[in-house]
Amino acid sequence: MSNNGFDDNNEASRGPSGQADLPQAKPAGWERSVLEKLAFATLAEQRARRRWGIFFKLATLAVIVAALWIGSGYNAGESDPVGAHTALIEIDGTIESGTVGSADSVVPALNRAYSDENAVGVILRINSPGGSPVQAGIINDEIVRLRKAYPKKPLYVVVDEICASGGYYIAVAADKIFVNKASIVGSIGVLMEGFGFTGLMEKAGVERRLMTAGENKGFMDPFSPQSEKQKTYAQEMLDEVHRQFIDVVRQGRGKRLKETPETFSGLFWSGAKAVEIGLADGFGTVDTVARDELKAEDIVDYTQHEGLSERLLKKFGGAVGTAAMASLWNSAKPSLK
């Protein structure tokens, strides 16, 4: 500390003239320059982000288009195979309208297989618990027609896990049925399922207000009581469809069928038992039947597969809005399951 009471550092900050140095003045308009640089940098960043966004959107669109094209329903059966071969058609899942097991899908595949001169025979591989008697009946009728039109081209059914009810309704139209010893076969019966909520509604104090024009228009409504007349009518209709099923089985299996009181009771059997009682002819797979029965080991798939685009439309399209109504209706119609 000096005698005059000022800090030595303060003295050191003075210039040669003894006066303190002033801060250097910034050029005029520097604020505007900084703001312009900031604005330009922001714009450049936004443009880069926009370009990358467009790139990724286009890339995603390209992937979706490629996936839709690949899964749009292409299958080898629609090409022109060279040389003698076995035609394969698959029914996998329930036999219902709008599915790959529907008549709209199976019948065109059958016609392509039979009309191909290089197809020495047809194998129909079935893995189905059943479904609509209408769809199964249409497919059965078409197989019978094609077998008459092409008597030298046999059709064999190969059962995978299960061939029951509507699946078996189709199978009996074949020349022969081959199974695995553990396959599930049979269930020659008809059902109509539903629920009744009248007791629950009464306990909950809920009143059903259903207005109809026609005495039986509310038939099978789950929220209304079922009369004995309606129950009798439904049973008669089920018995009628059951008789149709029995006639188809008898016609298809002929003398091979060893009937017992349980044959048409709705029971199902193992593949081994099915062979024993005449519901099937022997054991085999697609490969063994193609090799041993048709003598054509080359197999070409004629199945009309459902494309990815169709699956997406079904999942997110109109089917979503009508799912509840379809479920109610399906429960009120005869079913071969």
- Catalytic positions are 165, 217
User: Contact at 8 Å (CB) between 106 and 91?
Assistant: yes
Q: Are 219 and 236 in contact (CB under 8 A)?
A: no
Sequence-separated (6 or more) residues with CB below 8 Å from residue 74? 307
Please state whether beta strands 268-270 and 299-301 pair in parallel, antiparallel, or not at all (unpaired): unpaired
